[in-house]
Structure 1
Amino acid sequence: MMAHSPIRAHLVLLLVPAALLGGALAAQHAYGLYPCEMCMWQRWPHVVALILASLALFVKGGARASCLLLAALALGTSGAIGAFHAGVEYGFWTGPTTCTAPPSASDDFMTAIIAAPVVRCDTAPWSLFGISLAGYNALISLLSAGVALWLMKRR
Protein backbone atom coordinates (compact mmCIF):
# COMPACT_ATOMS: atom_id res chain seq x y z
CA MET A 1 0.00 0.00 0.00
CA MET A 2 2.86 2.37 0.76
CA ALA A 3 4.23 2.09 -2.79
CA HIS A 4 0.97 3.48 -4.17
CA SER A 5 1.13 6.71 -2.13
CA PRO A 6 3.06 8.76 -4.75
CA ILE A 7 0.66 7.55 -7.44
CA ARG A 8 -2.31 8.63 -5.33
CA ALA A 9 -0.68 12.00 -4.64
CA HIS A 10 -0.15 12.41 -8.37
CA LEU A 11 -3.79 11.60 -9.06
CA VAL A 12 -4.92 14.15 -6.46
CA LEU A 13 -2.68 16.79 -8.05
CA LEU A 14 -4.04 16.03 -11.52
CA LEU A 15 -7.72 15.59 -10.76
CA VAL A 16 -8.45 18.25 -8.13
CA PRO A 17 -7.14 21.29 -10.06
CA ALA A 18 -8.78 20.00 -13.24
CA ALA A 19 -12.11 19.53 -11.45
CA LEU A 20 -11.95 22.94 -9.74
CA LEU A 21 -11.01 24.72 -12.98
CA GLY A 22 -13.72 22.82 -14.84
CA GLY A 23 -16.26 23.76 -12.18
CA ALA A 24 -15.23 27.42 -12.29
CA LEU A 25 -15.50 27.51 -16.08
CA ALA A 26 -18.86 25.72 -15.99
CA ALA A 27 -20.15 28.18 -13.40
CA GLN A 28 -19.01 31.04 -15.61
CA HIS A 29 -20.11 29.86 -19.03
CA ALA A 30 -23.09 27.62 -18.27
CA TYR A 31 -24.59 29.42 -15.27
CA GLY A 32 -23.52 33.04 -15.79
CA LEU A 33 -21.50 33.37 -12.56
CA TYR A 34 -18.89 35.75 -13.90
CA PRO A 35 -15.59 35.84 -11.99
CA CYS A 36 -14.25 38.87 -10.20
CA GLU A 37 -10.57 39.75 -10.22
CA MET A 38 -9.81 37.67 -7.13
CA CYS A 39 -11.65 34.68 -8.62
CA MET A 40 -9.29 34.90 -11.57
CA TRP A 41 -6.31 35.02 -9.19
CA GLN A 42 -7.44 31.67 -7.77
CA ARG A 43 -7.50 30.04 -11.20
CA TRP A 44 -3.86 30.69 -12.11
CA PRO A 45 -2.32 28.46 -9.40
CA HIS A 46 -4.68 25.68 -10.51
CA VAL A 47 -3.32 26.04 -14.04
CA VAL A 48 0.25 25.91 -12.68
CA ALA A 49 -0.56 22.84 -10.56
CA LEU A 50 -2.10 21.11 -13.55
CA ILE A 51 0.90 21.87 -15.77
CA LEU A 52 3.39 20.68 -13.13
CA ALA A 53 1.43 17.51 -12.34
CA SER A 54 1.17 16.80 -16.08
CA LEU A 55 4.89 17.41 -16.53
CA ALA A 56 5.55 14.92 -13.72
CA LEU A 57 4.06 12.23 -15.98
CA PHE A 58 7.05 12.59 -18.31
CA VAL A 59 9.97 12.90 -15.88
CA LYS A 60 11.44 10.49 -13.34
CA GLY A 61 13.08 10.46 -9.94
CA GLY A 62 13.84 13.72 -8.22
CA ALA A 63 12.42 15.81 -11.04
CA ARG A 64 9.06 14.05 -10.65
CA ALA A 65 9.07 14.58 -6.89
CA SER A 66 9.95 18.26 -7.40
CA CYS A 67 7.14 18.74 -9.93
CA LEU A 68 4.65 17.14 -7.56
CA LEU A 69 5.85 19.17 -4.60
CA LEU A 70 5.55 22.40 -6.59
CA ALA A 71 2.11 21.33 -7.85
CA ALA A 72 0.97 20.76 -4.25
CA LEU A 73 2.31 24.19 -3.28
CA ALA A 74 0.48 25.78 -6.22
CA LEU A 75 -2.74 24.05 -5.18
CA GLY A 76 -2.25 25.32 -1.65
CA THR A 77 -1.60 28.82 -3.00
CA SER A 78 -4.96 28.81 -4.74
CA GLY A 79 -6.53 27.72 -1.46
CA ALA A 80 -4.82 30.55 0.42
CA ILE A 81 -6.05 33.09 -2.14
CA GLY A 82 -9.52 31.55 -1.85
CA ALA A 83 -9.41 31.90 1.95
CA PHE A 84 -8.41 35.56 1.61
CA HIS A 85 -11.19 36.11 -0.95
CA ALA A 86 -13.75 34.42 1.29
CA GLY A 87 -12.66 36.72 4.12
CA VAL A 88 -13.29 39.70 1.86
CA GLU A 89 -16.74 38.35 0.96
CA TYR A 90 -17.64 37.78 4.62
CA GLY A 91 -16.40 41.25 5.56
CA PHE A 92 -13.52 40.09 7.78
CA TRP A 93 -11.12 42.42 5.94
CA THR A 94 -11.08 44.62 2.86
CA GLY A 95 -9.90 43.45 -0.51
CA PRO A 96 -8.27 45.32 -3.36
CA THR A 97 -10.04 48.59 -4.04
CA THR A 98 -10.03 47.93 -7.79
CA CYS A 99 -12.18 44.93 -7.04
CA THR A 100 -14.57 46.29 -4.43
CA ALA A 101 -15.04 49.94 -5.32
CA PRO A 102 -18.05 50.77 -7.47
CA PRO A 103 -17.10 52.00 -10.95
CA SER A 104 -17.02 55.73 -11.52
CA ALA A 105 -19.57 57.09 -13.99
CA SER A 106 -17.06 59.70 -15.19
CA ASP A 107 -14.59 57.17 -16.62
CA ASP A 108 -14.25 57.36 -20.43
CA PHE A 109 -13.82 53.63 -20.83
CA MET A 110 -17.24 52.99 -19.28
CA THR A 111 -18.99 53.32 -22.63
CA ALA A 112 -16.81 50.56 -24.05
CA ILE A 113 -17.49 48.12 -21.25
CA ILE A 114 -21.05 49.06 -20.34
CA ALA A 115 -22.35 45.68 -21.52
CA ALA A 116 -19.84 43.74 -19.42
CA PRO A 117 -21.10 42.50 -16.07
CA VAL A 118 -19.73 44.33 -13.04
CA VAL A 119 -18.55 41.74 -10.58
CA ARG A 120 -17.47 42.82 -7.13
CA CYS A 121 -15.01 40.82 -5.05
CA ASP A 122 -16.73 41.63 -1.77
CA THR A 123 -20.05 40.07 -2.75
CA ALA A 124 -20.50 36.31 -3.05
CA PRO A 125 -22.65 35.61 -6.13
CA TRP A 126 -23.47 32.09 -4.89
CA SER A 127 -23.21 30.13 -1.67
CA LEU A 128 -24.22 26.77 -0.26
CA PHE A 129 -24.59 26.27 3.51
CA GLY A 130 -23.18 29.77 3.96
CA ILE A 131 -19.94 28.97 2.13
CA SER A 132 -19.13 30.86 -1.07
CA LEU A 133 -17.33 29.48 -4.11
CA ALA A 134 -14.12 31.10 -2.85
CA GLY A 135 -14.65 29.37 0.48
CA TYR A 136 -15.16 26.00 -1.19
CA ASN A 137 -12.05 26.56 -3.29
CA ALA A 138 -10.11 27.31 -0.11
CA LEU A 139 -11.39 24.21 1.68
CA ILE A 140 -10.94 21.81 -1.22
CA SER A 141 -7.58 23.19 -2.40
CA LEU A 142 -5.96 23.37 1.04
CA LEU A 143 -7.26 19.95 2.05
CA SER A 144 -6.17 18.38 -1.25
CA ALA A 145 -2.72 19.99 -1.09
CA GLY A 146 -2.33 18.68 2.46
CA VAL A 147 -3.42 15.18 1.44
CA ALA A 148 -1.05 15.19 -1.53
CA LEU A 149 1.88 16.32 0.63
CA TRP A 150 1.03 13.67 3.23
CA LEU A 151 0.84 10.97 0.55
CA MET A 152 4.21 12.06 -0.89
CA LYS A 153 5.77 11.97 2.57
CA ARG A 154 4.40 8.46 3.22
CA ARG A 155 6.61 7.08 0.49
Structure 2
Amino acid sequence: MTRNSLIFIAAGGSFALLAGAFLFQAIGYAPCQLCLWQRWPHAAAIVIGALVLAAGFSGRLWAWLGALAAAATGGIGIYHTGIERGWWQGPTSCTGSGDLGSGADLLSMDGPALVLCDQVSLWILGLSMASWNVIFSLAFMAIWIMAARR
Protein backbone atom coordinates (compact mmCIF):
# COMPACT_ATOMS: atom_id res chain seq x y z
CA MET A 1 0.00 0.00 0.00
CA THR A 2 1.14 3.51 -0.71
CA ARG A 3 1.55 6.22 1.90
CA ASN A 4 -1.46 8.07 0.49
CA SER A 5 -3.63 4.94 0.63
CA LEU A 6 -2.76 4.44 4.29
CA ILE A 7 -3.43 8.10 5.04
CA PHE A 8 -6.79 7.84 3.27
CA ILE A 9 -7.73 4.85 5.46
CA ALA A 10 -6.60 6.50 8.72
CA ALA A 11 -8.13 9.92 8.03
CA GLY A 12 -11.26 8.26 6.63
CA GLY A 13 -11.53 6.21 9.81
CA SER A 14 -11.40 9.37 11.91
CA PHE A 15 -14.06 10.86 9.64
CA ALA A 16 -16.26 7.78 10.15
CA LEU A 17 -15.83 7.89 13.95
CA LEU A 18 -16.59 11.60 14.07
CA ALA A 19 -19.64 11.16 11.82
CA GLY A 20 -20.79 8.31 14.07
CA ALA A 21 -20.40 10.49 17.16
CA PHE A 22 -22.53 13.21 15.56
CA LEU A 23 -25.12 10.60 14.50
CA PHE A 24 -25.39 9.25 18.06
CA GLN A 25 -25.71 12.82 19.29
CA ALA A 26 -28.48 13.49 16.76
CA ILE A 27 -30.49 10.51 17.96
CA GLY A 28 -30.32 11.62 21.58
CA TYR A 29 -27.02 10.50 23.12
CA ALA A 30 -25.63 13.83 24.29
CA PRO A 31 -21.84 13.92 24.71
CA CYS A 32 -20.06 14.72 27.94
CA GLN A 33 -17.10 17.09 28.09
CA LEU A 34 -14.54 14.31 27.61
CA CYS A 35 -16.47 12.99 24.61
CA LEU A 36 -16.19 16.43 23.07
CA TRP A 37 -12.45 16.54 23.80
CA GLN A 38 -12.03 13.23 21.97
CA ARG A 39 -13.54 14.73 18.82
CA TRP A 40 -10.93 17.46 18.29
CA PRO A 41 -7.96 15.18 17.50
CA HIS A 42 -10.15 13.27 15.02
CA ALA A 43 -10.94 16.58 13.34
CA ALA A 44 -7.21 17.33 13.23
CA ALA A 45 -6.50 13.92 11.65
CA ILE A 46 -9.16 14.60 9.01
CA VAL A 47 -7.63 17.99 8.20
CA ILE A 48 -4.14 16.46 8.01
CA GLY A 49 -5.41 13.74 5.69
CA ALA A 50 -7.15 16.33 3.50
CA LEU A 51 -3.98 18.43 3.31
CA VAL A 52 -1.99 15.42 2.16
CA LEU A 53 -4.55 13.95 -0.23
CA ALA A 54 -6.30 17.00 -1.67
CA ALA A 55 -3.78 19.81 -1.30
CA GLY A 56 -0.77 17.73 -2.21
CA PHE A 57 1.18 18.18 1.01
CA SER A 58 3.80 15.46 1.19
CA GLY A 59 6.42 14.11 3.48
CA ARG A 60 6.57 11.95 6.53
CA LEU A 61 5.97 14.84 8.92
CA TRP A 62 2.28 14.96 8.02
CA ALA A 63 1.83 11.25 8.68
CA TRP A 64 3.58 11.62 12.04
CA LEU A 65 1.22 14.50 12.88
CA GLY A 66 -1.72 12.24 11.98
CA ALA A 67 -0.31 9.55 14.27
CA LEU A 68 0.00 12.13 17.04
CA ALA A 69 -3.65 13.18 16.57
CA ALA A 70 -4.79 9.55 16.71
CA ALA A 71 -2.65 8.97 19.82
CA ALA A 72 -4.13 12.06 21.47
CA THR A 73 -7.73 10.98 21.00
CA GLY A 74 -6.80 7.45 22.07
CA GLY A 75 -5.16 8.83 25.21
CA ILE A 76 -8.20 10.92 26.09
CA GLY A 77 -10.32 7.83 25.46
CA ILE A 78 -8.21 5.75 27.86
CA TYR A 79 -8.59 8.46 30.48
CA HIS A 80 -12.35 8.62 29.87
CA THR A 81 -12.74 4.82 29.97
CA GLY A 82 -10.88 4.70 33.29
CA ILE A 83 -13.25 7.29 34.73
CA GLU A 84 -16.29 5.38 33.48
CA ARG A 85 -15.03 2.14 35.00
CA GLY A 86 -14.02 3.76 38.30
CA TRP A 87 -10.30 3.08 37.85
CA TRP A 88 -9.48 6.71 38.69
CA GLN A 89 -11.17 9.96 39.56
CA GLY A 90 -12.24 12.26 36.77
CA PRO A 91 -12.53 16.02 36.67
CA THR A 92 -15.01 17.27 39.25
CA SER A 93 -16.64 19.46 36.61
CA CYS A 94 -18.14 16.45 34.81
CA THR A 95 -18.38 13.58 37.30
CA GLY A 96 -20.90 12.66 39.95
CA SER A 97 -18.45 13.77 42.63
CA GLY A 98 -18.32 17.33 41.33
CA ASP A 99 -19.81 20.45 42.88
CA LEU A 100 -22.92 21.09 40.83
CA GLY A 101 -24.01 24.17 42.74
CA SER A 102 -27.12 24.57 44.83
CA GLY A 103 -30.15 22.34 44.60
CA ALA A 104 -32.05 25.19 42.97
CA ASP A 105 -29.58 25.07 40.08
CA LEU A 106 -30.34 21.40 39.55
CA LEU A 107 -34.08 22.02 39.46
CA SER A 108 -33.81 24.72 36.83
CA MET A 109 -35.21 23.83 33.42
CA ASP A 110 -33.11 26.47 31.69
CA GLY A 111 -30.23 25.32 29.51
CA PRO A 112 -28.97 21.85 28.65
CA ALA A 113 -28.65 19.10 31.24
CA LEU A 114 -25.17 18.24 32.45
CA VAL A 115 -23.92 14.98 30.96
CA LEU A 116 -21.62 13.25 33.44
CA CYS A 117 -18.32 11.82 32.23
CA ASP A 118 -18.46 8.91 34.67
CA GLN A 119 -21.86 7.68 33.48
CA VAL A 120 -22.02 5.49 30.35
CA SER A 121 -25.10 6.28 28.31
CA LEU A 122 -24.61 3.49 25.77
CA TRP A 123 -22.83 0.14 25.92
CA ILE A 124 -22.03 -1.58 22.62
CA LEU A 125 -20.86 -5.19 22.92
CA GLY A 126 -19.80 -4.54 26.52
CA LEU A 127 -17.77 -1.41 25.76
CA SER A 128 -18.59 2.27 26.05
CA MET A 129 -18.19 4.61 23.12
CA ALA A 130 -15.03 5.97 24.80
CA SER A 131 -13.60 2.44 24.87
CA TRP A 132 -14.44 1.89 21.21
CA ASN A 133 -12.75 5.20 20.44
CA VAL A 134 -9.56 3.88 22.09
CA ILE A 135 -9.57 0.69 20.03
CA PHE A 136 -10.16 2.41 16.71
CA SER A 137 -7.88 5.35 17.46
CA LEU A 138 -4.95 3.10 18.32
CA ALA A 139 -5.56 1.17 15.09
CA PHE A 140 -5.58 4.45 13.15
CA MET A 141 -2.40 5.51 14.94
CA ALA A 142 -0.73 2.30 13.74
CA ILE A 143 -1.88 3.03 10.18
CA TRP A 144 -0.56 6.59 10.36
CA ILE A 145 2.77 5.22 11.61
CA MET A 146 2.89 2.75 8.72
CA ALA A 147 2.28 5.69 6.37
CA ALA A 148 5.06 7.69 8.00
CA ARG A 149 7.50 4.83 7.57
CA ARG A 150 6.82 4.47 3.81
TM over 0.5: yes
In the alignment, which residue of structure 1 is the partner of 2:101? 104
Once the 2 structures are TM-superposed, how far is the Cα of residue 144 of structure 1 from its aligned partner? 1.5
Distance 1:40 1:125, change over 3 A: same
SS at match of 1:28: helix
Alpha-carbon distance in 1 for matches of 2:2, 2:132: 25
In the alignment, which residue of structure 2 is the partner of 1:138? 134
Residue type at the aligned position of 1:48: A
Residue type at the aligned position of 2:82: G
Q: What pairs up with 1:35-114 in 2 under 5 angstroms?
A: 35-57=31-53, 58-62=55-59, 65-100=60-95, 101=98, 103-105=100-102, 111=108, 114=110
Q: What pairs up with 1:15-54 in 2 under 5 angstroms?
A: 15-29=12-26, 31-54=27-50
Alpha-carbon distance in 2 for matches of 1:20, 1:61: 25
SS at match of 1:56: helix
Q: Which moved more, 1:16-25 or 1:51-60?
A: 51-60
In the alignment, which residue of structure 2 is the partner of 1:7? 4
Does the 8 A contact of 1:34 with 1:117 survive in 2?
Answer: no
Residue type at the aligned position of 1:46: H
Higher helix share: 1
Residue type at the aligned position of 2:8: L
SS at match of 1:98: coil
Structural RMSD (CA): 2.1
- Residues paired across the two proteins, number: 147
Once the 2 structures are TM-superposed, how far is the Cα of residue 150 of structure 1 from its aligned partner? 2.2
Cα offsets for 1:70-100 (capped at 9, x unmatched): 0121012101101110010000001111011
In the alignment, which residue of structure 1 is the partner of 2:116? 120
Same amino acid, percent of matched pairs: 33
Residue type at the aligned position of 1:116: P
Does the 8 A contact of 2:34 with 2:80 survive in 1?
Answer: yes
Mark the runs of 5 or more structure 2 residues left unpaired by the alignment. Answer: none
Does the 8 A contact of 2:73 with 2:134 survive in 1?
Answer: yes
